[in-house]
Chains A and B, each alone.
Chain A
């Protein structure tokens, strides 16, 4: 790559000073006018008919302004499958589902009123296990599935609980198994987890009498919120303004539309007031997206030389009560089902099944952690069966330039081998260090799971003094988007990052971006920003050419002056150019400079409905994780001695932020590997707080050795690709593989809690 001045440098975060001084405004920090406070009445059964809702006592409670129920919210909402009621209508489908919402003049009054609402249910038979749920005689969670609107790339089975059946057929599976010398079959299970961003979900709405709705939300996508609200409330988009301020962590749970709809009808009743809802930690855990649990079966055929010839993968996902978003996780896991490996013959069936558990939905990794857990454990079993080094099996089968994914998409710009070797070299692969010590590795890959037409756009305004404003539609939830975009803009504009302003999105002013999900923004928004910067720079040259009367090709711009390369004395300040006015005569040349850029993928296609073949990936990001552990056989406690993570960023736009992101993802992966599992008892979440649902804290986080690999992405801006989710994927399998190496015990599920490890050790000892 030619010399870059801003991209590839670790400039300070745009939001740094605000964030360390307590000045960064999250939505609950805004004073946005006279307020009403909303609270939900939540269902106390997992599946039941609503017989009666008595709000009379609650309505009489002092301070209460209004109480709405499902009948006030007539339309459903959803991203891919429009199946979700904002407030339950006629029946409830999960424990904790909103059945009514109260607006009052204080949070306290609203909370008290909620307690006074009486709801009578007739309990219905429920389903909590998707394997049971997909049987033909299972109780139905959605009787009306056939009438739901759906994006036609999903395949529900009306009359059952199957919300999507994704099918993939690559090569010839029978032939693949015939060619195999060994066949290995295993079953795996990955439980639900919760994102638990430290900031819970929050939303506020304001309605003005001219019909304008303003919504403040912790949304990862203000544009998708606007789109879904417009449909649900039958409003034109220009009358809806959605603002996402800084977000206190997203990780997928704030993707799509989440809780915004709850407050909209309340706001419409009280023009001039802002109606706000703030989820408690408990509500956040039970009532917003969980990671979908996965029950899977893998069957692999392998030749003696280590080559995998066939893979048969069945995945049954617990979609929970609504799968408006989950259907696409099931699809993404399906089309990616050979993981980071090139397997010629693949047969995959991935099912999204409704249950009466909490709503399943996107979590960092979007199905890849769950699906690749099976792949990476299976490779370990293969290595064991063949007596081969697990690294060797990965190198033999790992994707290379020109390999094909399960969907048959050819991958370019890949150096998976380097990702693997970097981390294994770091931890001293192949050397056994002690009796209870072991080493493990896992590879990983992920592409953004986005519709093939998911777009981004950018506008750059050059101010009169030559500073610039960059406008983009992505959300800032910590990933560093604002900083990365300002660097890409600076590179294209030749204006230093400290003379560029960029803020959080507001759909009335910032241009469209589909969503800040899927590790896509660096690439998609980056492409749009780069184009906008080049467009603005082109205009600067054109105006300067007129002003200085030299050909535009002869000009160059150093951030302050535009000057002729032939005679540097022929120059104009950016201020003179931005002022757009001819010096001597006073005749105008051009108006203010506004650069524009937009991006939509051109390398993606829909997939064949029968074979799942096509091009679902905008780009593929590879990486690897390697660990060394020591296990205490008496207690089952795993100690992480070494943890190394690599990720192929293509080009790290900001190496420091890229490293922080790599660490953050690895730590989240570690946390899920060792601690996290949402426990349900008949749909009731048993561990909905930080004491019972433990996440990694500083005292149990080891040092991480991180490696950013840079194999340029040909379509990415300056060769960059997104890496936000990927680091999480390899951690759980790498740790399980290491424990297996240490003690020879097998795990088909995680978290690897001391009890689980201890039991595995005891079981092995009993077998002798």
Chain B
């Protein structure tokens, strides 16, 4: 059996203490141990952005990070964006603009966009293009995504 380590962290506002296998990626840990399956896997090697989550407010590809690195940190996943049944304004803007089709890239896309707006409340097209260039959407909802992000940042 692989070696385990106890880690303490906050996930979506809740403090947790859990065992994590030493070689396990944060992505697998989030999906298989925390059962937060909103975070998706599209490549496992940092190329698609489907697995992006916020770690201490920074967007990270969770497939590239080890679960044990979560120790002492604050993790926010797509499930943590809606609070008390209220969606984040970005989530609402994605709905209003139909900024997705299959929805598989959407959690990662929204987390990247959230980090952008937090850092830059009124992003330009170029800011959006740059911040989301690591999030692939094969359904090609890019035009709607740009509109949704701008719309959400106005509010």
* A interface residues (Cβ-Cβ under 8 A, vs B): 10, 12-13, 15-26, 28-29, 31, 195-200, 246-251, 280-281, 477-480, 656-657, 660-661, 663-668, 671, 689-691, 695-699, 701, 703-704
Contacts and interface: CB of A to CB of B under 8 A. Distances in A.
Contacts of B128: 698
Contacts of B45: 281, 689
Nearest to B79: A22
A62 to B, nearest CB: 10
A668 B104 contact: no
A12 B91 CA distance: 13
A698 B137 contact: yes
Interface of B: 31, 35-45, 47-48, 50, 77-79, 81-82, 87, 91-92, 94-95, 98, 100-107, 110, 128-130, 132-146
A14 B130 CA distance: 31
Nearest to A657: B98
Contact of A689 (B43, B101, B110, B142): B43
Contact of A22 (B38, B47, B138, B146): B38
Contacts, number: 161
A77 to B, nearest CB: 26
8 contacts: A19-B103, A198-B138, A200-B42, A663-B142, A663-B144, A690-B48, A691-B47, A699-B129
B102 A477 contact: yes
Contacts of A13: 95, 98
Given A199-B42, A660-B144, A689-B43, A21 B138 contact: no
A246 B79 contact: no
Contact of A25 (B37, B94, B136): B37
A668 B47 contact: no
A480 B98 CA distance: 10
Nearest to A12: B95
Contact of B102 (A21, A199, A281, A704): A199
Nearest to A706: B143
A38 B43 CA distance: 18
A29 B37 contact: yes
Chief secondary structure at chain B's binding surface:
loop
B78 A22 contact: yes
Nearest to B132: A698
Contacts of A195: 138
A16 B144 CA distance: 14
A199 B137 CA distance: 10
B50 to A, nearest CB: 5
Contacts of A281: 42-45, 47-48
A656 B136 contact: no
8 residue pairs, one from A and one from B, having the closest CB atoms: A22-B38, A248-B104, A478-B102, A478-B101, A19-B103, A667-B140, A22-B78, A29-B37
Contacts of B95: 12-13, 16-17, 20
A251 B104 CA distance: 14
B79 A197 contact: no
A87 B77 CA distance: 39
Contacts of A701: 140, 142-143
Contact of A667 (B35, B37, B142): B142
A198 B137 contact: yes
A21 B100 contact: no
Contact of B39 (A22, A478, A657, A689): A22
Nearest to A197: B138
A641 B132 CA distance: 21
B45 to A, nearest CB: 7
Contacts of A20: 87, 91-92, 94-95, 100, 103, 106, 110
Given A21-B38, A199-B40, A247-B102, A660 B141 contact: yes
B98 A660 contact: yes
Nearest to B95: A16
A663 B144 CA distance: 9
Contacts of A31: 35
A52 B51 CA distance: 40
A702 to B, nearest CB: 9
A478 B100 contact: yes
A246 B44 CA distance: 21
Of B35, B104, B107, B136, chain A has the most CB atoms within 10 Å of the CB of: B104
A18 B106 CA distance: 11
A280 B132 contact: no
B137 A479 contact: no
A22 B107 contact: yes
B94 A695 contact: no
A704 B38 contact: no
A656 B37 CA distance: 28
A704 B104 contact: no
Given A26-B104, A667-B142, A198 B42 contact: yes
A663 B140 CA distance: 7
Nearest to B24: A108
B146 A479 contact: no
Contacts of B36: 22
B60 to A, nearest CB: 17
Contacts of B110: 20
Nearest to A21: B82
Nearest to A247: B102
A22 B77 contact: yes
B28 to A, nearest CB: 9
A630 to B, nearest CB: 18
Contact of A249 (B43, B44, B98, B104): B104
